[in-house]
Amino acid sequence: MQTPTNMAVPLAAELRLPTSWLDYTILGIYFVVVLGIGFAARRSVKTSLDFFLSGRSLPAWITGLAFISANLAATEILGMAANSAQYGAYTVHWYWIGAIPAMVFLGLVMMPFYYGSKVRSVPEMLLLRFDKWAHLLSSLLFAFAAILIAGVNLYALALVVEALLGWPQWVAIVVAGAFVLAYITLGGLSSAIYNEVLQFFVILAALIPIVVLGLKKVGGWGGLTDKLTAQHGANFTTAWGGTGIGSSNPLGANWLTIVLGLGFVLSFGYWTTNFAEVQRALSAKNLSAAQRTPLIAAYPKIFIVFLVMIPGLVAAALVPGFGTAKSGYQYNDAILYLMHGLLPNGVLGIAITGLLAAFMAGMAANVSSFNTVFTNDIWGRYVVKGREDGYYVRFGRLITVIGVCASVGTAFLASSFSNIMSYLQTLFSFFNVPMFVVFIIGMFWKRASVKSGFWGLLAGTVAAMVNYFVIYKQGIIDIPTDQGANFVSAMVGFAAGAVVMFAVSLFTEPKPAEELQGLVYGTTSPGMTEPPAPGDEAWYRKPALLGWGAVVIAAACYIPFSF
């Protein structure tokens, strides 16, 4: 069993970034623009629908870029670079098998149910399909998970601020949290989405110079693979090498756990039920735009892997044993290590701005989804019912403040992991996977009873936690890495939830067929049959073409990494 190395160690002193007035000027201009967007978006917030879902008025290209930008956070930048430094080219699995199929499934199959039912959140869908107990439990679990994940992004943001200014991490965490709070509270989801579109391009401008200069430093792709093969073996630079059952590889997982644990259970659990992502699609102006939101996002997702994987590989090539106590670095330091050693002033300012943009996008996505679920699904549904619309807008702003304060606390929890990607995948296996099994069975099996939703969700969550904290952490079963344990926990949680749902459904009553219209595959509701808007009937906007095109390209990308 592998445990995190070099835990809670302060950022290495040699990573202090050599910033100049030019870098600070670029950063200052960005902050002014972000707050300006927040103030501009505030004028459009007149109702709770405006605050929580942008009035369902945004075009597909805006929501599509916001969808991918919300994911371009600590998971992508520090997390995937750390993953690559630790596990090598196996990182491609989180994209081509661990994202694209699920994003396509969300767009083609699930968005008509989400958007057509006019729900304001993912948990609300469980209220319609099952009962209030499934709804309440899913709302509480999601709210808790959103705060934990927001803390990951806040911690990652604090690492950059620490490197930039030399502030202690706790100061950086508090200041960064206050800044994100300002623009979300001002303009609600619209402020978050428009900032995410801006942040998408800033992030690309930050990562591309790191990749180009990093490859130049190690002698190109050939020089990089030669160095990594000499240090870590041939499997470190392949996608499937050493993944046979019983074989060993850096990831500590075989092809079955990769395909089922990551490619199906974790991936579909995250992309189809994570409201921080789905919320962007629900803010689209019509059903066609909502369907195209994750499909548009799938195309940059295919290629972003190179921008986050290559820096991690370069760091591993330049510093033998990178991420171990002997090297003096954590895996999370990979990006900062390259920024310090490769980027000149000016370019360094752009890179710092891009990293801050990424982390704010991720935190904003989780905080905006948290305030929506807590206000509508918990407070407005079970605590204070039937108040005027303005009350819920004011409460939404208040709970945003509370959510940011709570995420400050959870940021310190994230700091105990040397690879924050492992931590995130652990959270996904606990919270997203059990919700996915309830959704998928409820959507495709009419006989799934009203009570099965609650018990399936509870059983899946408990089983995943028991597998991780008891069976894995206590060494009852030897699993080589945290990531391998996460894949197994996800599969255990999925299986437990499914078994319990089937068992409970056999002994309890299903919903009447007339109440399942638009909630079960094969049925429709009026919102799912709206005619295409002018222009949406064009061939290049067809969701099926966009979706299957992304799947084919992702599969083709595996070819160079299969040998």
Task: Concatenate the DSSP letters of all residues of 27-51 into one string.
Answer: HHHHHHHHHHHHHHHHTT--SHHHH
What does the pLDDT read at residue 134? 94
- What tens digit of pLDDT does each residue of 331-368 get? 888 888 888 888 888 888 888 888 777 777 777 778 88
Residue 294 confidence (pLDDT): 95
What is the C-alpha to C-alpha distance for residues 467 and 484, in angstroms, rounded to an integer?
12
Residues 55 and 547: their CA atoms lie apart, in Å, by 26
pLDDT digits (tens, 9 = 90+) for 36-93: 777 776 666 666 666 666 667 788 888 988 888 878 765 678 788 888 998 888 999 9
| Residue with the larger pLDDT of the pair 378 and 178 | 378
The reported pLDDT for the residue numbered 12 is 47
- pLDDT at position 164, please? 65
Token pair for 195:
């900032």
Mean per-residue pLDDT over the chain, rounded: 83
Per-residue model confidence as pLDDT tens digits over 226-280: 999 998 888 888 888 888 887 777 777 788 888 888 888 888 988 988 887 888 8
* Number of other CB atoms surrounding residue 539 within 10 Å: 6
Identify the CA nearest to 330 among candidates 3, 2, 10, 1: 10
Model confidence at 8, pLDDT cuts 50, 70, 90, reads very low
- Cα(358)–Cα(210) distance, rounded to whole angstroms? 15
Q: Each residue of 32-48: pLDDT tens digit?
A: 887 777 777 666 666 66
User: Which domains does the chain show, CATH number per domain?
Assistant: 13-41+59-561 (1.20.1730.10)
For 259, how many CA atoms within 13 A lie in the half-sphere containing its CB? 7
Bridge partners of residue 284, in order along the sequence = 58
Quote the Cα angle for 2-5-11, to 5°. 155
| Residues 6 or more apart whose Cβ sits within 8 Å of residue 322 | 85, 315, 316, 329, 331, 334, 337
Nearest CA-CA partner of 460 in 209, 262, 269, 217: 269
CA–CA separation, 457 and 276 (whole Å): 19
Angstrom distance (rounded) from CA 72 to CA 196: 9
Q: Which residue from 45, 43, 67 is spatially nearest to 54, judged by alpha carbons? A: 45
Burial category of 194 from C-beta neighbours within 10 Å (exposed 0-12, middle 13-18, buried 19 and up): buried
Query: What is the amino acid identity at position 5?
Result: T
150-159, 307-316, 384-393: segment of lowest average pLDDT: 150-159
Q: Which residue's structure tokens are 């028991």?
A: 466
Length, in residues, of the chain: 563
